[in-house]
Structure formats: structure tokens, C-alpha cells
Amino acid sequence: MAILSTDNLRKTFSLPKEKGEPLFAKRKRLVAVNQLSLSFEEGEIYGLLGPNGAGKTTALRMIASLIKPEEGKIFYQGEDIEKNLTAYRKEIGFLTSELKLDGFFTPNQTFDYFARLYAMDEKEAKEEKEILFERFHISEYRNKKIDELSTGMKQKCSLALSLAHKPKIVIFDEPTNGLDIVASQEVEQFLLDLKKSNHLVLLSTHIFSLAEKLCDRIGILLHGELKKEDTKEKYKEEGGLEKVFFALYEKEGGDNL
């Protein structure tokens, strides 16, 4: 049985008013995600691939319970997540490349803060902190203000924090955006390690090489809809992910998407 699944998720957003439109005219709506049904297994890395505005972030935000779908449901271990949202959130680690931690605090203070928000046992939190800080080479900088750290180190701190509460499901929105090649390599290796330790990793990306390198399965999102979903081996058989993607992209209207 899938550990996590979505059933016909739909989400729309109202569009800003256009010039010349009457003041009280009904706002037009953009369909961000439509009829999205996915299922994920433990110990796999699943990638959502698509251009900007395809609905990747909205889909991940719904799965992370940050925003609610207008239609459809999300099931964790077979149960609707709405029935016990607090328990579900304890199992989720969520990271977006947009995250910029508060520069006033140190990695140490920030980690402790999040551990307390997740109501972690103090001893357990301390042990986990040591493991993660060691893993991402943060230990040396643990008492420095985040403002004083390099961009790569800041991103690694964010990564460590999203895993502070030992989540089973890790959701990364564009995980390597803004990272240098060394930090990217470290993050990629870490995602593979998470997979080995039977975690489910969901990530969104628009980088073909990253998806092919890390993901077991890849779903292509265009116009908020899942156009294709397969294993990376299958994509390879069809000539590679990039080729498949652009074929679909052209078929769906290309630039008019």
C-alpha cells in the first residue's frame, strides 16, 4: 500500500484584475492544479518536473498541508490527513529554496526552536542536532549568527532544520536552487541517503539532469495537470527525460501554456 497518495486534487487562484476591468467585476481564476492523483511508496524519490507556473509548488504545498485543496483528498497511510493534521505534520519535513532563515539567530538557537515547536524530547533533539550538524558540516558555525554564514551554509542550515523532527516524508521545492556545485552535491547525496533509510522524498525541479540522477519516478506537470508519470528507466528507453518533456510540451501548445 502507498504510504502517501493524492486523489483528484484541484486548486485555483484568483487572477489580478486587468486594466480597464470594472471595479466589482468577478475575478478570473487560474487553475493551478487539476485532477492530480499520485501515490508514493516508502524509500523512493519522486520528482515533479515542469516549467515555471506548471503547478509544482502548489501541488507540494497541498501535499505538505500548507494549503488546502478545493477538491480531492490526501491520504497518509490510508487515512485522510484532515482527520489528524497535527500527527501528519509531525511526519512531514518541508523545504523551499525561497527559505531564508532569520539572520539574527544562530543555527543552534534556530534548531532548538524548531525542535520545541515539534514537541521533541530534549535529549532526542540534542542527539538529532549533533547528527545533522555533523552531516552538513554546520557544527563549526553553530553559534555564529546565520547572517554571517555563506549562502551554501545557510541553505544547509535550512535543510538540517527541515529534518530536525525526523520526518518520514521529506518534501523539497527546488532543493538545489541557489546552491554552488559543492553544496548541491552534498544535498543530492543526502537525498540519496534519505532514500536508503526508507524515507519518502518528494521534490520539484525543472532541471532534467537532477531529476534523472535522483528520482526513481518522475511526473511531468503541465498546466496543473499530470501529463505523464513513469520510472526514470522508462524515460531513458523513450530517448531521455528532456526529449519526452519537450515532445509533451509541444503537444500541449508550447509557449501558449
Partner 1 sequence: MKGLATIFKKECLRYFTDYRMLIALFLPGILIFVLYMSMGNIMTNIVSTPAIENTVFHIAYTDDFGEGEYPKLVSLLEATFTSGGRGNTLKTYPLSEEESLSAKEEVKKGTYDVYLDYSPSFEDELLGEKVQTLNIYYNGASEKATYLYELTSSLVSFAYNGYLLNQENGFPIDSNVAEENFRMDQVASFLIPLLTTTFLFSPIISLAPESIAGEKERGTLATLLITPVSRSAISWGKILAISLASLASALVSFLGVFFSIPSILPGFQLSFDSAFPILILFLLSDILFVGIGIAISAFAKSIKEANSYLGGLLTLMMVVSLLSSILDFSALPFAFIPVFNISSCMSLILKSSTFPWLYMTITIVVTALAASLVVFFSNRLFRSEKIMFRK
Cα 31-206-52 angle, rounded to 5 deg: 35
Compute CA 148 distance to the chain's CA centroid, rounded to the nearest angstrom.
26
| Contact positions with partner 1 (CB under 8 A) in 176-235 | none
Compute CA 197 distance to the chain's CA centroid, rounded to the nearest angstrom.
18
Residue type (1 letter), 134:
E
From 28-36, 84-92, 222-230, 235-243, give the range in contact with partner 1 by CB under 8 A.
84-92
Cα 82-117-120 angle, rounded to 5 deg: 100
Q: Does 67 bind partner 1 (CB under 8 A)?
A: yes
Among 17, 27, 73, 100, which residue interacts with partner 1 (rule: CB under 8 A)?
100
Cβ distance to partner 1 smaller for residue 49 or 60: 60
Cβ distance to partner 1 smaller for residue 100 or 137: 100
Q: Does 113 bind partner 1 (CB under 8 A)?
A: yes
| Contact positions with partner 1 (CB under 8 A) in 9-28 | 14
Give me 115's grid cell. 525542535
Q: Does 31 bind partner 1 (CB under 8 A)?
A: no
Distances in Å between the Cα of 96 and the Cα atoms of 106, 123, 133, 204 are 20, 28, 19, 10
Cβ distance to partner 1 smaller for residue 200 or 218: 200
Q: Does 114 bind partner 1 (CB under 8 A)?
A: yes
Q: Does 94 bind partner 1 (CB under 8 A)?
A: yes
Q: How large is the angle between the packed helices 151-162 and 107-117, nearest 10 degrees?
A: 20
From 30-38, 60-68, 186-194, 225-233, give the range in contact with partner 1 by CB under 8 A.
60-68
Supply the minimum distance, in Å, between the C-beta of residue 84 and partner 1.
10
Cβ distance to partner 1 smaller for residue 224 or 245: 224
Cβ distance to partner 1 smaller for residue 100 or 243: 100
Q: Does 90 bind partner 1 (CB under 8 A)?
A: yes
Measured between its terminal Cα atoms, the distance across the chain in Å is 35
DSSP state of 146: G
Distances in Å between the Cα of 255 and the Cα atoms of 85, 97, 243, 251 are 39, 25, 16, 11
Q: Does 122 bind partner 1 (CB under 8 A)?
A: no
Supply the minimum distance, in Å, between the C-beta of residue 234 and partner 1.
33
Contact residues for partner 1, defined by CB under 8 A: 14, 61, 64-68, 86-87, 89-90, 92, 94-96, 98-102, 104-105, 109, 113-114, 116-119, 161-162
